[in-house]
Amino acid sequence: MDLPIIYHPDYVTPLPPEHRFPMEKFSRLRDLLVADGVVNESQFYAPEVPPREWIEWVHERQYVQAYCEGTLEPKALRRIGLPWSPALVHRTWTAVGGTILTARLALECGLACNTAGGTHHAFPGYGSGFCIFNDLAIAARVVQKLGLAKQILIVDLDVHQGDGTAYIFQDDPSVFTFSMHCEVNFPGTKQRSDVDVPLPEGMGDEAYLQTLAAYLPDLLAQVQPDLVFYDAGVDTHEGDRLGKLALSDRGLFCREMQVLSTCVSLGYPVACVIGGGYAHDFDALIYRHSLLHRAASEVYRQGQISLPT
């Protein structure tokens, strides 16, 4: 079996113009991966819309209902940062299904990648920072509830702290949250992850990769997760307009290889999501997101997958 890739087609429901950016990056990412021969059509899996009950294992019922019906107060919508529409509701719901499917395929195959996901700023009762439902938290809870995994490790390398995820699991020892992020960046008020690594503004490739190497192997040995969720935000790039760190394309690819090789060679399945990215150059942004899938394909082809028996 080839590396599984979860694909989110834009044509599931037509989106109004104000939602096409950044939503269309998901299909553009898929097109680039195929055009460059990184993956083939047989590797793509389309997600299904998950049951509402699964969403409500993490999010408050009143919030889920208000968002889906379009009755959130204007202040709550401003906090999310995206104008409401029925199409975006469907897209949001399906994106959660994509991360759930990514997790299930990772447990089956050792490694799977989403072409979306990473909405780590969503809290149980409200959305924030372009995040409506927390796909990482929901997927973690689903695989636990279905008896597919017990201990979860979330490795969040988006440039912004995974504050919603940290808050959701703050009193839950079965989900370990690790966030390595720029200290002087959104959110202004940080939550407490199990391990937070705040980075100074302007940190480049070498220092970043050395810092990651100082934490990741020990985390795996300590947590011994049944499943790792990896949020591979590319807003750590030097060209990102919301980032404040200074990774290059090469640095991003080395980061992805470092995370994936370390995890899967030790027998820890990894479910990957693309996280944030906010470059003015849209083509450059799509390429940076593709680095995750390029690294995953290389690791998968090298035969480093070694699932525990």
What residues act catalytically?
121
What is the distance between the alpha carbons of residues 169 and 202, in angstroms, rounded to a whole number?
30
Name the nearest CA neighbour of 115 among 274, 276, 247: 274
What would the DSSP string read from start to end of 31-99?
HHHHHTTSS-GGGEE---PPPHHHHTTTS-HHHHHHHHHT---HHHHHHHTS---HHHHHHHHHHHHHH
Q: For residue 88, with 0-12 CB atoms within 10 Å meaning exposed, 13-18 middle and 19 or more buried, which class applies? A: buried
CA distance 277 to 22: 9
Is the distance from CB of 105 to CB of 2 less than 8 angstroms? no
Taking the C-alpha atoms of residue 258 and residue 271, their distance in angstroms, rounded to an integer, is: 15
